[in-house]
Amino acid sequence: MSTTPSLRRASRRTLLAAALAACALPGAAFAQAYPNKPVRVIVSFPPGGAADQIARAVSEPLAQALGQPVVVENRAGANGNIAGDYVAKQPADGYTLLMSSGGTVAINPHLYAKMSFDPTKDLVPVAAAARVLVFLEVNPQKVPVQDAKGFLAYLKANPGKLSYGSPGNGSSPHLAAEMMKAQTNLFATHIPYRGAAPAMQDLLGGQIDFMFDPGIGLQHVKSGKLKLLAVGSPRRSPQFPDVPTLDEVGLKNFDADTWFGFYAAGGTPPAVVGRLNTEINKVLRSQAFIDRMNAIGAIPAPMSASDFGARAQIDSIRYGALIRARNIKGD
């Protein structure tokens, strides 16, 4: 029996729709099944630093949301390159995430002549976590000053005699100090460490004189062991409303903020990135996470993955200019 032209066209449309549905099924099924095993978060700095604290603040509630364990691992070194390279070379399935400062993507390509991975291609932004401020702190036993202007005067009167620590060459605390030195034409000796936590220990111990702290030392400010002089942010910290910004002290347009967040291997399915972004943003809006960030002076920063990527591009331009002007090289 022959079929009419209209029936044949309807049959072709049905077959085409079925074929398209079949093509879409593997990706849809993968996204629907995600996750079906533990997720690892690789932190690019040692335990105790801002990245580590943020990762651990997110991991437990994220595990509850995903229904799978979220395991935090630290792989420090090369200003985040060791962890970045590791995650970039993992399967693009969303089961291995990088937690790092934005420096891995925005700063390191300007620091290192050669990198074992391309962070703009081999990593994909998943979710921002927090805007991390840096706080200019001194050991009051070593640096007898009362405020930021007094500190700059003391630094000028003692050229080359003061030292400061950072989590490593090209880290945001290091670049904050370079911004300050560039604007004031003052000099102090940089001591790079493998993370903010060991640098903080030496600041407390008096082995170094000052530091741009990514928030982990604020408990020692409150106890009186350290003295907070200024904030390296465009706006005052909500936790310390009486402490001026360096812009207010005279260092115009001073902005050393950096965005910490999560990345995955390039090629991770958009549906998986979207799921992770949604769940992480829910965590960032929780009071428990806000309280954890308050403790280190950081500000939760929920945003889309694309907005997080755009933020890194903006930072790449401004930090790249500073790195070239100051001739800063990676470790």
Cα–Cα distances in angstroms (integers) from residue 33 to residues 178, 221, 271, in the given order: 47, 47, 11
Q: Using one digit for the tens of pLDDT, what is the confidence trace for 161-208?
A: 999 999 989 999 999 999 999 999 999 999 999 889 999 999 999 999
Helical segments of the chain, H only: 5-33, 50-66, 81-88, 103-106, 108-111, 119-122, 148-157, 172-184, 196-205, 218-223, 246-249, 270-284, 287-295, 305-326
Q: Using one digit for the tens of pLDDT, what is the confidence trace for 5-63?
A: 444 444 444 444 444 444 443 444 555 689 999 999 999 999 998 999 999 999 999 99
Report yes or no on whether pTM surpasses 0.95.
Answer: no
User: For the chain, which domains are there?
Assistant: 36-131+258-326 (3.40.190.150), 135-249 (3.40.190.10)
Cα–Cα distances in angstroms (integers) from residue 198 to residues 73, 98, 192, 214, in the given order: 18, 22, 10, 13
The residues facing 258 across adjacent strands are 132
The pLDDT score that the predictor gives to residue 307 is 97
Q: Using one digit for the tens of pLDDT, what is the confidence trace for 278-302?
A: 999 999 999 999 999 999 999 999 9
Lowest mean pLDDT among 24-33, 72-81, 241-250: 24-33
pLDDT at 271 over 60: yes
Name 185's Cβ contacts closer than 8 Å, sequence gap at least 6: none
CA atoms within 13 A on the CB side of 311: 24
